[in-house]
Structure 1
């Protein structure tokens, strides 16, 4: 993918309206932190297009049309890609790292299965709302507390860092390296993860949204709520109930519910994490 143009003022305005931001628009930490939180809370993470065989690209202009124009969600290449594009349009210096979900389990084959936005201010900040980070985090080995959420950054060998997710929140970990910004690899993994039969995104439908008080996830028919008290699960009974949960809890209209439900009910057992060594 060639470098996209920057967003126009009207596109930035529409995006800010979508996430509910009405403050000053400046390339500073205060603005970045507010946008990070609002993006995480407003935008659902979902892979409906992959489930339905609709091609997905890393083009942020396409992500804008989908997530803002059609009020949909997207997976990391769209979700974080749109966020990074908007930040660049506002005036931030942003890099796209080739992250690696579950690298600790599957090694370097996972590099590029997650797009990690890093913003350069007084130091590099990871601004990754799709992982549940509610505020930008400096790249320092430390525990991270965002309200009830408990994360950590761990320093590894060779310039690598590990993001340790909140207990019970998927995925358990994601590695990144400030020197690994391989756009061709990100492009390759974006294509692979939406077409390969072993990809968890092909195997399972997923919805996720972060709220101040909880993170909610639907994998297949299982709706999980993770909060300060732990996690609770329930099974979604039928397509009407699924569409209602998607609309009322995640703010998205599920497209072609009949075809999507057929995919959900035919999905292999074992849950999404069974394939997380391939994806993010």
Structure 2
């Protein structure tokens, strides 16, 4: 079995496999529903690899999830194997707030299909359910409204409106600075200030809804609204990872004291 065949089986894609918009859309939808966004390795003190072979082993053969560098790294490789032209682009999450220091904190893809350029991103917390044409426009993609805008010359901004202020990343259409991406990948995996070091996160699309586990809070947002609850102990934490996200990792139980402590700290920060 070829590695591409293994990947297609992992995401459950059984349709046509040829370059074209219909294939791109189908693969994108399948990937975000089959493979969760998660940064468990960072919480376990590991630095996720950006090497394609390691990513393939983790996400496909070991059936784990990953963060943007892994998710879009794998997806971009698969698209190229099929015959798509893919450009890896370096993005800055909330760069309009944090400035140039945010550059390289996210990896996305630009893909050529049916005469157009499409933003493909299976690694932004599983929020983007399908690729977007690279034009200024707003799209209703349940459970979110998303938009592409151009805040400056040759600069693009993707915004996901899960809340009124939106959550965004900025990018240009130029090929990514791979050294910058690698450096920011390591920083986000090791720096005490990194959100991924401070907080556990896993997210996954289920139909038109997205489920998320942030620390000990399990939430779901969908067409009918939002719901959330707190997990009670390490056993439930491991069970939810397995049952809701497909992450079978018993070592996660060791994180529970840190997750509880961070929850108390977060509540105190909010109160202050």
**TM-score normalised to the size of structure 1?**
0.89
The answer for the alignment partner of 2:205 in structure 1 is 210
Q: Which moved more, 1:33-42 or 1:262-271?
A: 262-271
From 162, 170, 173, the counterpart of 1:167: 162
Question: Are 2:51 and 1:56 equivalent residues in the alignment?
Answer: no
From 112, 118, 121, the counterpart of 1:128: 121
**Residues 27-42 of structure 1 mapped to structure 2, 5 A cutoff:** 27-42=19-34
From 125, 138, 146, the counterpart of 2:141: 146
Is the 2:69–2:123 contact (alpha carbons within 8 Å) kept by the matching residues of 1?
no
CA deviation map 1:109-131 (0-9, x unaligned): 10100000111221221011223
Is the 1:48–1:255 contact (alpha carbons within 8 Å) kept by the matching residues of 2?
no
Q: Which runs of 5+ in 1 are unaligned?
A: 1-8, 275-280
SS of the equivalent of 1:270 reads helix
Per-residue deviation, 1:134: 1.5
CA deviation map 1:161-207 (0-9, x unaligned): 11110324997111111125111110110011111000011111111
From 72, 78, 86, the counterpart of 1:86: 78
Q: Work out the CA distance in 2 between the residues paired with 1:170 and 1:73.
A: 28
Question: Are 2:61 and 1:69 equivalent residues in the alignment?
Answer: yes
The answer for the alignment partner of 2:243 in structure 1 is 248
Q: Which runs of 5+ in 2 are unaligned?
A: none
**TM-score normalised to the size of structure 2?**
0.91
Instruction: Name the one with the larger strand percent.
Output: 2
Task: State the Cα RMSD in Å.
Answer: 1.9
Count matched residues.
Answer: 264
Is the 2:235–2:253 contact (alpha carbons within 8 Å) kept by the matching residues of 1?
no
Q: Work out the CA distance in 2 between the residues paired with 1:170 and 1:258.
A: 34
Is the 2:87–2:175 contact (alpha carbons within 8 Å) kept by the matching residues of 1?
no
Relative contact order higher in (CA < 8 Å, ≥ 6 apart): 1
Is the 1:101–1:171 contact (alpha carbons within 8 Å) kept by the matching residues of 2?
no
Per-residue deviation, 1:89: 1.1
